[in-house]
Structure 1
Amino acid sequence: MHQTMRWFGPQDTVSLRDLRQCGIKGIVTALHQIPVGDVWTVENIKERQNIIREAGLEWTVIESLPVHEDIKRKAGNYQLYIDNYKTSLKNIAKCGIQVITYNFMPVLDWLRTHHNFENHDGTKALRYEEKAFIYFDVYLLKRPGANTEYSINQKKEALEYGKKLSDEQRNTLFKNILLGLPGSKIDFTPEQVLTLLDSYKNIDEEKLRENLIYFLSEITPLAEELNLKLAIHPDDPPFSVLGLPRVMSTQHDMEQIFKAVPRHANGLCYCTGSLGARPQNDLLKIIDDFGDRIHFLHLRNIVRENEGVFRESEHLNGDNPMEEIVKKIILLMNKRNISLPMRPDHGFLHSLEENENHYPGYSLIGRLKGLAELRGLELGLNHIMKATDLT
């Protein structure tokens, strides 16, 4: 695997110098300063590319080239934003970057209820707890219609949970869920979220999927012509939140998208953490079925405590069978004769970095630990597989 790390740009508290010392050669980043929907110019891309090259690294993967809400809703200025997206793809191709990650999650990107859940050893992790989310949705945000979407028992448990929170803990929960987009220091306001939610009131799962297919049918032929690879990130978490539809949560979702737009450029960011949070997803079968569509790898692990709770765990220890996953990835890369870009997704926050202002999940030590473990696992499996002629 081609090992990379994510960097949020010049404002990131983790520097390129820090990342280079991790032993990587590739950087995963984006032009977060450009408003969603605007064109990425060649000048903008090259400026960032040169900063990365001057640090002795290479911009390997774009994460993300964000999709405007008008495109997801197929409303307003959606065609203008699709045209802008195409122009950005052309400019990216001129700069020699080939892999572009994006997602099609309405309104919010990823979300967790807890950003600093304390593990037994004192490290801190990202966690999702259903009753905390329901408390936020029904009693804090007070989303119209939320009260009817949960059972009486769910709302009772959520209210009991909320009664035990201090004012500071309630504020933290509110802020955690309304966290801004990666790379942004500006969180969503309740008013913004409620307005955006209202704009999706007539869009169900079927309609959102149709809009995604339309978007892909517009941009994928161009991407293929430019030798670009589009990698859609799975929904995180992989189920509906805030009453919003989600269309990239299951294997069936992938089947529909890849069948509707069968071009090779229409590919997948294989995120073991996002997909693994849904126990029905068979991560090994997804590699078997869609291996030729996998263009980018996010490797992390999770522990599903119960049906409504999951937390991120050590990269090699969790409910995802990471050894089997990496073994299948090695076989896949040998079959396709490529080295797929991979980044160790997220990581624990260690006490040495607690006072630094890191984007949740992106402190340096936790990701470096994950990278070292995954690098060692790949190396060990390669030796074993070559010795037993399994490659």
Structure 2
Amino acid sequence: MKEGWRWYGKFDKISLSEIAQTGASEIVTAQHEIPYGEIWASETVQATRQKLNAAGFNWTIVESLPIHEKIKRNDGDLSGLFANYRQSMANLAAEGIEVICYNFMPLLDWTRTDLAAPVARGGTCLRFSSAKMAALELFMVERPEAENDYSAEVIRQAKAWFEASTQAERDQLIHAVMAGLPGAYDRFDTAGLKEALKAYDGISRDQLRANYKRFLDEVIPTAEDLGLRFAVHPDDPPRDILGLPRIVSNEADIDWILNAHESPSNGLTLCAGSLGANPRNNVPDIARKFADKIHFAHLRNVAKDPDGSFEEAAHLGGDTDMVDLVSALLTEQRKRRTDGRKDADITFRPDHGHDLFNDAEREAHPGYPLLGRMRGLAEIRGVIAGLSAQLPAA
């Protein structure tokens, strides 16, 4: 398996020379400074590739080529947005990009309520608290019918937290929820989030699915022509948020997506952490079921609470059997080599990580510290080496 590392370009506090010392060979990045819907110019993509190659890295995976919110809502004349998207795809393919990781989460990206929750033996992690999320929805955004999405006990805890919280703590909560948005984009305050949600009024799960199918029908034929593979990232967390339907959350959702436009170019980013936050998901089994469509893997772990809360665990800790999951990926990789597939080697990256030692002082992107991810990479590297030694040569 190829070892990747996510890098945020000029917004990243971690340098390429430092990443090189982790041993990772593949950089996973994007043009985070370009607003959604605009074309990624050939010159810009080429400059990124040249910079990464000069630093000794390969760049074959984009994460992400964002989808404009109007496309997710099927809002108005979308011909220009789709044309721009396809042109960006062509410009990426011309520079050697093979895989485009993307998501179809409405309005928000990955969502957490705490960016520095303490870890038992030191350091901090990302956490999602159902009570704090309920407090945001019920008492800050004041979303109608939000009480239907939470248990009576979670609502009680949410009310207690809200009544005891200061304005600074409420501001910190909305800041944490907005932290998943990549790059230099403006984040919403509470009033802005409340206003932004209005654009999704009346959009049901079935309607969002229909909009998603249109997206696939618009871009997958071009991906086939260009030799690109699309890899959808699961919802994070895998549940509805702020009343917005999330449609990439479990095995049934993935099955629907891969059959909505059948093509070798329509595939999956296997994110162990996102899928692992749903107690009904068996991540190694999902990996085995959709193995031939996994174009990219995010390996991390979560520890779940009964009320729907969860936090980032150590990569070999948490609730997902990481050894079983890596074994499933290695088995698929061996099969691909036997079958002579050009995409036989699966690229993974250590996703998220605890802030360890002086990680917090760097103020890197939340969830993307240097030392915490390097620990995760080293642990997964060890699992891969141990399992690979037990397999006969492909």
One-letter code aligned to 2:229: K
- Equivalent-residue separation in structure 1 for 2:301 and 2:183 (angstroms): 23
In structure 1, stretches of 5+ residues that fail to align are none
Show the 5 A alignment for 1:102-141.
102-141=102-141
Show the 5 A alignment for 1:324-339.
324-337=324-337, 338-339=344-345
SS in 1 for 2:10: coil
Q: Offset of 1:60 from its aligned partner?
A: 2.5
Could you give the per-residue CA deviations for residues 15-41 of structure 1, whole angstroms, max 9, x where no partner exists? Answer: 111101111111000000100010111
Say whether 1:287 aligns with 2:293. Answer: no
Quote the residue 2:242 is aligned against. Answer: 242
SS in 2 for 1:270: strand
SS in 2 for 1:127: strand
The question of whether the paired residues in 2 share the 8 Å contact of 1:71 and 1:79 is answered with no
- Equivalent-residue separation in structure 2 for 1:343 and 1:151 (angstroms): 35
TM-score by length of 2: 0.95
- Equivalent-residue separation in structure 2 for 1:309 and 1:41 (angstroms): 41
The question of whether the paired residues in 1 share the 8 Å contact of 2:60 and 2:96 is answered with no
Could you give the per-residue CA deviations for residues 168-221 of structure 1, whole angstroms, max 9, x where no partner exists? Answer: 322211211123612226422334322321111121101101111111011101
- Equivalent-residue separation in structure 1 for 2:255 and 2:185 (angstroms): 36
- Equivalent-residue separation in structure 1 for 2:90 and 2:106 (angstroms): 25
Say whether 1:316 aligns with 2:316. Answer: yes
Say whether 1:378 aligns with 2:380. Answer: no
In structure 2, stretches of 5+ residues that fail to align are 338-343
Q: 241-250 or 172-181, which moves further after superposition? A: 172-181
Quote the residue 1:361 is aligned against. Answer: 367
SS in 1 for 2:230: strand
- Equivalent-residue separation in structure 1 for 2:73 and 2:197 (angstroms): 11
Q: Offset of 1:116 from its aligned partner?
A: 0.4
The question of whether the paired residues in 1 share the 8 Å contact of 2:277 and 2:302 is answered with yes
- Equivalent-residue separation in structure 2 for 1:284 and 1:164 (angstroms): 41
Quote the residue 1:19 is aligned against. Answer: 19
Quote the residue 1:261 is aligned against. Answer: 261
Show the 5 A alignment for 1:157-176.
157-176=157-176
Quote the residue 2:232 is aligned against. Answer: 232
The question of whether the paired residues in 2 share the 8 Å contact of 1:107 and 1:193 is answered with no
Could you give the per-residue CA deviations for residues 148-169 of structure 1, whole angstroms, max 9, x where no partner exists? Answer: 6545544322111223334432
Say whether 1:80 aligns with 2:86. Answer: no
Quote the residue 2:214 is aligned against. Answer: 214
Count of aligned pairs between the two proteins: 388
One-letter code aligned to 1:361: G
Say whether 1:343 aligns with 2:343. Answer: no
SS in 2 for 1:61: strand
The question of whether the paired residues in 2 share the 8 Å contact of 1:179 and 1:188 is answered with no
The question of whether the paired residues in 2 share the 8 Å contact of 1:70 and 1:77 is answered with no
Distance change (3 Å), C-alpha of 1:136 and 1:9:
same
Distance change (3 Å), C-alpha of 1:297 and 1:181:
same
Quote the residue 2:45 is aligned against. Answer: 45
Q: Percent identity?
A: 38
The question of whether the paired residues in 2 share the 8 Å contact of 1:125 and 1:349 is answered with yes
One-letter code aligned to 2:140: L
Displaced runs of 4+ in structure 1, greater than 6 A?
Answer: none
Q: Offset of 1:333 from its aligned partner?
A: 0.4
- Equivalent-residue separation in structure 2 for 1:124 and 1:180 (angstroms): 17
One-letter code aligned to 1:325: L
- Equivalent-residue separation in structure 1 for 2:297 and 2:279 (angstroms): 19
The question of whether the paired residues in 1 share the 8 Å contact of 2:179 and 2:366 is answered with no
